[in-house]
Structure 1
Amino acid sequence: MLGNIGPVGILLIVIIALILFGPNKLPELGRAFGRTLREFKEGTKELLKDDDNPEAEKGSRTTAADRQQRTEVEGQFTEVRAEDKPSDSAKDKRLPD
């Protein structure tokens, strides 16, 4: 999208920004925009790193208590799944086809 903007288009954008914000406010806006982009980039890198290796200790924010709670919840989930499976006696009680 922005790759199609030529030098004339960039110059026009800069002139409009100068008119709207003034020469004193423009550097502040540029710094704020740069910080925002940097934080976004770091956040996405962290999310991608966590997705690639969810059990990684280095740089991970999960604590031992979080891991223990996750293990307990997963155990409860498997118990519920085991209860949902029909037993052999339940198959016998079904009506014939």
Structure 2
Amino acid sequence: MTVALDATFAALADPTRRAILARLGRGEASVKELAEPFAMTQPAISKHLKVLERAGLVERGRDAQRRPCRLVAGPMRAASEWLGAYQRFWEESYDRLDDLLAEES
């Protein structure tokens, strides 16, 4: 679990990779289509895609000559669940603070 979680967070650490995932969240895209909004080459985008693939966040299919990329959201669910524990911690902390402030009023 932690190796997969580490790979997910490492992949999400880069803003270009997050933008690629956001684009793939709207549907499949080719490397060329993914490279369009960036000031970088298709090989550079391919390197980002390899990081996302190793993290299990992206799959590449095969459609004749086209190799569409698609989002795989499963690893992000594990990351979200891990972060959820901290969200609950902060919510409980704020609730305690609210109670304390209410007592002092």
TM over 0.5: no
The structure with the largest alpha-carbon Rg is: 1
Higher helix share: 1
The normalised TM-score by structure 1 is 0.31
Q: Which one scores higher on RCO, CA 8 angstroms, separation ≥ 6?
A: 2
Higher strand share: 2
The normalised TM-score by structure 2 is 0.29
